[in-house]
Structure 1
């Protein structure tokens, strides 16, 4: 039996299957379909023609627009479709035609979306992705499986992110970019194939990072990517020098972390 709060408004032409949990103030518009294992927290709004399936939890205040399909099975050929989940945070906006898949048993079983993120029309979040808080994914952005997107990152329209790739916090990915390698925090990547083209200074400024700190990060960026050694050797060499700069340490930690993908750089992907 469904658990539907008294203040929820379910349109008579919507389907809410037995077992679904619907919180206070939830609105389920016409022609929506809510599956039996779905939880809609308080004040979620499904505008119309929204399908929410699987073991999906939608955080309070999230709005989902028409033709979105949320919580569908993974598109992995090896997916067993058993007890996997999709968890969406609070106050997200999910626009028309967006698709988000549950995780796979083989890789932890869960796809996780943070709070206050914006997913524009026809963007896609595949199985086992981790998307942080305050992320913007523009129209037609495609995340393959196991992608990690840091807080406040912006992925511009039509960009495609390769499976197992990491995009750091406050990174900016330009439109139609092909992201095949990890993008450092505060980095800016453009092109197909994607090439690291500097720092997201605009994003850092909007986030309130002091100009002097931005100049410090720029010096560190130059030392990392233009130094005589490899990227990781250069990053390790400057750690003590920049130990008092939070943003540089975040970049250095990102570079030092284990990853299935190589690092984007100003030269990686360029022809010749």
Structure 2
């Protein structure tokens, strides 16, 4: 399973059935779970913790030191969950002392040429499409999708089940369950297609839609809208997730696009 034209440091810990193709290099202080395949010309550097049944395609570099001038050589990690696929020439940098690790969840797809910087946290079942560039300290919730060539500002929060259109510059937080698109990046409706695919009922989707109509369409400021939602809508997991996300947003949430926009694309 280990091609002779590879270099694996003696201290690296690989499960017995890990497959490593030729010309890959695995540094010390690396752990790789069973069933994982490492393609050719992959570099896995110190501090990588890779789960079971992952696939890492040629040219990827996992757990290189952060591209951060305040990094002082401290011990840190990259953690990658089970069944995650990392395509060609992806780069994932390890953490700094701020968080201590960069984490990518299970069942994720990180497509070619994407970059995940230091201290990012990517949830489970996420997709980063080709050429997505993610700065440090970004947090991305479960089932979120970034379409191709998105650029994400440092410290941005991306909510669960959200979808961000291709070529977007993401400089504000993106709340859960929504679509975001246009320039500047704006609220573009509830991600109803994605939610249906994941088993959300029409009633749950309409409940989410009603909440966002208050937040974005009712003419209230954010504080007023949150107060109205909390008073007028029954407590559900979705309602509470939205309220918590918006209240805890550090960079502020994206706004509604105003030029010629309407609600036609929001109907279920």
1:185 maps to what in 2?
176
**What's the counterpart of residue 241 of structure 1?**
232
Runs ≥4 residues deviating over 6 A: none
Q: Distance in 2 between matches of 1:235 and 1:104?
A: 35
Cα distance in 1 for partners of 2:236, 2:166 equals 30
Match of 1:264 in 2: 254
Q: 1:173 aligns with which of 155, 161, 164?
A: 164
TM-score (norm 2): 0.93
- Equivalent residue for 1:45, pick from 34, 37, 46: 37
1:251 Cα deviation (Å)? 1.0
Whether contact under 8 Å (1:125, 1:143) holds in the other structure is yes
In structure 2, do the counterparts of structure 1 residues 252 and 55 end up closer, same or farther at CA, with 3 Å as the change threshold? same
1:255–1:268 Cα change, 3 Å: farther
Q: Please, what TM-score do these two structures have when normalized by structure 1?
A: 0.92
Q: Secondary structure at the match of 1:10?
A: coil
In the other structure, the counterpart of 2:90 is: 98
Counterpart Cα distance in 2 of 1:240 and 1:90? 41
Task: Tell me the number of residue pairs that the alignment of Structure 1 and Structure 2 aligns.
Answer: 260
Match of 2:126 among 123, 135, 139: 135
Matching of residue 215 in structure 1 with residue 203 in structure 2: no
Deviation at 1:151, TM superposition (A): 0.2
Q: Give the Å deviation of 1:18.
A: 2.1
1:155-170 aligned at under 5 Å gives the runs: 155-170=146-161
Q: Do the aligned partners of residues 198 and 24 (structure 1) sit closer, same or farther apart at CA in structure 2, a change above 3 Å counting?
A: same
Secondary structure of the residue that 1:188 maps to in structure 2?
strand
Provide the residue aligned with 2:100 in structure 1: 109
- The answer to whether residue 28 in structure 2 is matched with residue 36 in structure 1 is yes
1:124-174 residue CA offsets vs partner (Å, 9 max, x unmatched): 100000000000110000110000000000100000111000000000000
TM-aligned CA deviation for residue 247 of structure 1: 1.7
Q: Write the distance in 2 (CA, Å) between the matches of 1:167 and 1:233.
A: 23
- Other-structure match for 1:4: none
How much is the aligned-residue C-alpha RMSD, in angstroms? Answer: 1.6
